[in-house]
Amino acid sequence: MSMINYASREINCKLVYYGPGLGGKTTNLEYIYERVNPETRGKLISLATEQERTLFFDFLPVDLGEIRGFKTRFHLYTVPGQVYYNASRRLILKGVDGIVFVADSQPERMDANIASMHNLYENLAEYGYDPRTLPIVLQYNKRDLPNALPIAELREQINPDHLPEFEATAVEGEGVFDTLKAVSKLVLKSLG
């Protein structure tokens, strides 16, 4: 969970972007990184595997204010999309404060969305996290594609718990910051 750095008067929060491979997790982080003030962000680190990569960077949002005199720094991570990298996925979830589940809106990716959502809940259970109390936001990505499934169908298949949800076209930045702001606010609310 969140770490408090008394020397720098910062609360460090970990946000993890989770979902199926090639769903848009990396695109979300790259878009955010490119638009965050360079003076308030850390270096973008990419850990590559043979077929996937995990990204990480941190930033200090200036518009979210302070909590009891402490600034909040967010550390953003992506997980590898392929389920066979489950050990990495689970490790990245350790100490998580909030999750963005990035779902691919294409019909042929529905099985991958469902498998990844089940995998997320299994991995959260391994650490004893309760998905009903952990801040989780769902993003329906690739809404610009002509074959994108209707939101009602996506919701029925992968959002039975009625998580906060957003439509996005991450490659264009649409919905990216709305999703980030929503999960950030839920995390800050859980700290208060």
**Of 6 and 151, the one with more pLDDT:** 151
pLDDT at 28: 95
pLDDT at 40: 87
Q: What band does 64 get if pLDDT is binned at 50, 70 and 90? A: low
**Of 98 and 83, the one with more pLDDT:** 98
Full DSSP string of 132-185: TTS-EEEEEE-TTSTTPPPHHHHHHHH-TT---EEE-BGGGTBTHHHHHHHHHH
Identify the domain containing residue 90 by its residue range: 3-191
Please, are residues 105 and 140 in contact by the beta-carbon 8 Å criterion? yes
pLDDT in tens, 112-137: 999 999 999 999 999 999 999 999 99
Please, are residues 101 and 113 in contact by the beta-carbon 8 Å criterion? no
pLDDT at 146 over 90: yes
pLDDT at 158: 96
What does the alpha-carbon distance between residue 155 and residue 73 come to, in Å, rounded to a whole number?
31
List the single range of 4-13, 137-146, 153-162 with lowest mean pLDDT: 4-13
pLDDT at 47 over 80: no
Q: Sort strands 45-48 and 10-18 into parallel, antiparallel or unpaired.
A: unpaired
Average pLDDT, the chain: 90
pLDDT at 6: 84
Tokens matching residue 76: 């953003």
pLDDT at 49: 64
pLDDT at 137: 98
pLDDT at 62: 56
- Interacting residues of 41 by C-beta distance below 8 A, sequence separation 6+: 33, 57, 58, 59, 60
Question: How many residues in the chain?
Answer: 192
pLDDT at 88 over 90: no
Handedness of CA 123, 127, 130, 133 (dihedral sign): negative
pLDDT at 72: 87
Residue 16: enclosing H or E segment and its boundaries? strand 10-18
Please, are residues 101 and 89 in contact by the beta-carbon 8 Å criterion? no
Q: Sort strands 70-78 and 66-67 into parallel, antiparallel or unpaired.
A: antiparallel
- The CATH number of the domain holding residue 56 is 3.40.50.300
In the predicted model, what is the mean pLDDT of residues 156-183? 96
- Interacting residues of 181 by C-beta distance below 8 A, sequence separation 6+: none
pLDDT in tens, 69-83: 888 889 999 998 776
In total, how many domains does the chain have?
A: 1
Please, are residues 96 and 151 in contact by the beta-carbon 8 Å criterion? no
In the predicted model, what is the mean pLDDT of residues 98-119? 97
